[in-house]
Amino acid sequence: MQTNPIPRLELTGITKRFPGVLANDNVGFSVLPGEIHALLGENGAGKSTLVKMIYGIMQPDAGQIRWNGAPVTVQNPKAARKLGIGMVFQHFSLFDAMTVLENIALGLDANLPQRELEAKIRAVMQQYRLLLDPHRTVSTLSVGERQRIEIVRALLLNPSLLIMDEPTSVLTPQEVEQLFVVLRKLASEGCSILYISHKLHEIKALCDTATILRGGKLVDTCDPKVETSRSMAEKMIGAGLKEIKKVAGRTFGQERMIVNRLSVPGIGPFGISLHDINFEVKAGEIFGIAGVAGNGQNALLLALSGEVPSDDADAITVDGARVGTLSAKQRRLKGMASVPEERNGHAAVPEFTLSDNTILTARDRLHMVSGGLIRSGMAKTYAGEVITSFAVKALGPGATAGSLSGGNLQKYIMGREIMQKPSVLVVSQPTWGVDAGAAAAIHQALVDLAGQGSAIVVISQDLDELLSLCDTLAVINGGRLSKPMQVAEADINEIGLLMGGIHGDTSAVAPERAHAH
Amino acid sequence: MRIKLEKRPEPSRLMLVITPIASVLLTMLVGVVVFDALGIDGQRAVVDIFLTPLLASYKWQDVAVKAAPLIIIGLGLSIGNRANVWNIGAEGQYIIGALCAAGIGIAAGTSGGPFIMVLMVLAGIAGGSAWASVPAVLKTRLGVNEILSSLMFTYVALQVLSYLVGGPWKDPNGRNFPATAPLTADQALPLLPFTSVHLGVGVALVLPFLFWLLMSKSVFGYQIRVVGSAPNAARHGGFDSNQTVWLAMLIGGGMAGLAGALEFAGALKTINLGFPSGYGFTAIIVSFLGRLHPIGVLIAGIVLAVTYVGGQVAQTTVHIPNATAGIFQAMMLFFILASDIFVRYRVRFIPAAKSAPAAGE
pLDDT at A1 over 50: no
Tell me the CATH number for domain B2-349: 1.10.3470
Residues B67-106 have pLDDT tens digits of 999 999 999 999 999 999 999 999 999 999 999 999 999 9
Q: Does pLDDT of A504 surpass 60? A: no
Can you tell me the ipTM of this complex?
0.81
Query: A375-385 burial by CB neighbour count: b if 16+ within 10 A, else e?
Result: bbebbbbbbee
Residue A473: pLDDT above 90?
yes
Q: Are B94 and B69 in contact (CB under 8 A)?
A: yes
> For residue B118, what are the contacts with CB-CB under 8 A and spacing of at least 6?
none
pLDDT in tens, A202-246: 888 899 999 998 888 888 898 988 888 778 877 887 765 556 666
**Who wins on pLDDT, B230 or A141?**
B230
- pLDDT grade, residue A517 (50/70/90)? very low
A442 pLDDT higher than 80: yes
Pick from B60-64, B153-157, B195-199, B345-349: least confident? B345-349
Query: By CA distance, what is B240's nearest residue in A?
Result: A327
Q: Is the pLDDT of residue A317 over 90?
A: yes
Pairwise CA distance, residues A214 & A223, whole Å: 17
Q: What is the mean pLDDT of residues B53-80?
A: 93
CB contact under 8 A, B229 and A352: yes
Is A373 in contact with B359 (Cβ distance < 8 A)? Answer: no
Tell me if chain B has a CB within 8 Å of the CB of A69: no
Q: CA nearest A198: which of A48, A402, A62, A52?
A: A48
CA distance A388 to A347: 20
Q: What is the pLDDT of residues A480-503, one digit of tens each?
A: 999 999 988 888 888 888 887 765
Q: How far does CA A303 lie from the centroid of its chain?
A: 21
Long-range contacts of A178-185 (CB under 8 A, 24+ apart): A178/A144, A179/A147, A180/A205, A180/A206, A181/A129, A182/A128, A182/A129, A182/A130, A182/A151, A183/A36, A184/A36, A185/A128
Q: What is the mean pLDDT of residues A157-181?
A: 86
CB A373 within 8 A of CB A402: no
CA distance A467 to A494: 13
pLDDT in tens, B296-318: 999 999 999 998 899 888 888 88
pLDDT of A19-75, one tens digit each?
Answer: 767 889 999 999 999 999 999 887 678 888 899 899 998 899 999 999 998 999 988
Chain B hits for A305, Cβ within 8 Å: 236
For the beta carbon of residue B228, count every other beta carbon within 10 angstroms.
21
Minimal C-alpha gap between A248 and chain B (Å): 35
Which domains are assigned to chain A? Answer: 9-237 (3.40.50.300), 255-500 (3.40.50.300)
- Chain B contact for A71 (CB, 8 A cutoff): yes
Residues in chain A within 8 Å Cβ distance of B225? 352
Of A75, A361, A376, the CB nearest to B358: A75
DSSP A2-29: -S-PPPSEEEEEEEEEETTEEEEEEEEE
pLDDT of residue B359: 42
pLDDT at B296 (0 to 100): 93
B150 pLDDT above the threshold of 70: yes
Is-above-0.90 flag for pTM? Answer: no
Which residues of B lie closer than 8 Å to A, measured between beta carbons? 6-11, 217-220, 222, 225-226, 229-230, 232-233, 235-240, 353, 356-361
- What are residue A137's DSSP bridge partners? A99
How far apart are the C-alpha atoms of A463 and B38, rounded to whole Å? 71
Among B219, B232, B360, beta carbon nearest to A83: B360
pLDDT for position A507 = 38
pLDDT the model gives residue B292: 92
Q: How confident is the prediction for chain B on average, in pLDDT?
A: 90
Count Cβ atoms below 10 Å from residue A360 Cβ, excluding itself.
24
- CB-based burial, A82-95: b 16+ in 10 Å, e otherwise: bbbbbbbbeeeebe
The minimum CA-CA distance between B179 and chain A, rounded to whole Å, is 44
Q: Would you say residue A270 has pLDDT above 90?
A: no
Q: How confident is the model at residue A338 (pLDDT cuts 50, 70, 90)?
A: very high
d(CA A284, CA A286): 7
- Residue B64's pLDDT is 94
**Chain A residues touching residue B360 (CB < 8 angstroms):** 75, 78-80, 82-83
Strands (E), A217-320: 217-222, 255-264, 274-282, 286-290, 316-318
* pLDDT of A266: 81
Compute φ and ψ for B313, nearest 5 degrees.
-65, -50
A385-420 per-position pLDDT tens digit: 999 999 888 889 999 998 887 788 999 999 999 999
B233: nearest CB among A67, A329, A360? A360
What residues contact residue A107 under an 8 Å CB cut-off, 6+ apart? A93, A153
pLDDT tens sequence across A172-210 = 888 888 889 999 999 999 999 999 887 788 888 899 999
Angle at A264 between CA A261 and CA A265, to 5 degrees: 140
Q: Which residues in B lie closer than 8 A to residue A340 (C-beta atoms)?
A: 232, 236
Contact A374 B218 (CB under 8 A): yes
pLDDT in tens, B19-45: 899 999 999 999 899 888 888 888 888
pLDDT exceeds cutoff 80 at A90: no
According to the model, what pLDDT value does residue A440 have? Answer: 86
Cβ atoms of B98 and B270 closer than 8 Å:
no
Quick: pLDDT tens for A424-439: 999 999 987 777 778 8
pLDDT given at position B244 = 94
A111-158 pLDDT per residue, tens: 788 888 889 889 988 888 888 888 988 888 877 788 888 888 888 888
Pick the range with the lowest mean pLDDT from A92-96, A355-359, B254-258.
A92-96
> Residue A303's closest chain B neighbor by CA?
B236
A352 close to B (CB below 8 A): yes
In whole angstroms, give the CA distance from residue B355 to residue A288. 54
Report whether pLDDT(B354) > 50: no
Q: Which of B219, B229, B359 sits opposite A75 (nearest CB)?
A: B359
Three-state SS for B80-96 is: HHHCCCCCCCHHHHHHH
Size of interface A-B (CB pairs under 8 A): 108
Cβ distance B237 to A328 less than 8 Å, yes or no, reads yes
